[in-house]
Amino acid sequence: MTPALHSQLQLSVLVIEDEALTRTLVSRVIATADFKVVGSAQNAAEAMRLFKTFRPQVVVTDIDLGGGPTGLDIAQAISKLSPSTGIVFISSIEDVRTIRPNLPTAPATSKYINKADVNNVQILIEVIRNAFEAAQTGPISKSSDDGWEIDKEPFTDLQIELMRLISAGMSNTAIAAARFTTVKSTENAISRLAKKLGIPTDDKSNQRVLIAKYFYKLSKVQHIND
């Protein structure tokens, strides 16, 4: 069956979301959009069990699932089992690298929708169908920007990690030990980060507190029922 014909049929969807209320709301909106919700899961183990049981055509997953594997981890596992399964990520986190370091990459054909747009049925229909059809045809090329990937601007992975460690209350000495570098190198990296954030270096400002505040802003999640 061709992707064009398949897109006119009722696609089967698996929803993965760790928060019960949000999971129910997302599932309800997807069902309202005339898709068949075959199951909903709150964690990776449950998601993989349901996926192997129902083999949905599209998986809609939050990126941050609390502790344990993320939606990106699950998407990679599902894509290896079934490359033709469409993947849609939902999130309101400004920079998903704040979840944890060394996140896996998103599958090349995956799509993304902000949680604030999930209630818009037309946008949801388009994203789910686009994800399914992209998975059937595969990425156009390695350089194609049709799929979704983590946007690493304006901060590097190192800068995100520095913000995380500072927010955890670690001293420069502890950060240097954790990163296997020198205290001086750590101080210089933090200084460059503060400059990039526009944080003054005078005695009137607590540089580390302001960096931590910015990190929390990046990692803030807004739920679709807010």
pLDDT confidence band for 225 (50 / 70 / 90): very low
Given pLDDT bands bounded at 50, 70 and 90, which one contains residue 123?
confident
Q: Please answer whether residues 8 and 97 qualify as being in contact, where contact means their C-beta atoms are separated by less than 8 angstroms.
A: no
- Taken in order of first residue, the domains within the chain and their CATH numbers are 3-137 (3.40.50.2300), 157-218 (1.10.10.10)
Helix axes 207-218, 157-167, angle to 10 degrees: 110
For residue 220, is pLDDT > 70? no
List CB contacts of 50: < 8 A, sequence separation 6 or more: 14, 38, 39, 40, 41
Query: Above 50 in pLDDT, residue 226?
Result: no
- Does residue 108 carry a pLDDT above 50? yes
Binned at pLDDT 50, 70 and 90, residue 8 comes out as very low
Give the residue from 209, 201, 204 showing the smallest Cα distance to 167. 209
pLDDT digits (tens, 9 = 90+) for 193-207: 888 888 877 777 788
Beta bridge partners of 36: 12
How many CA atoms, within 13 angstroms, populate the side-chain half-sphere of residue 175? 24
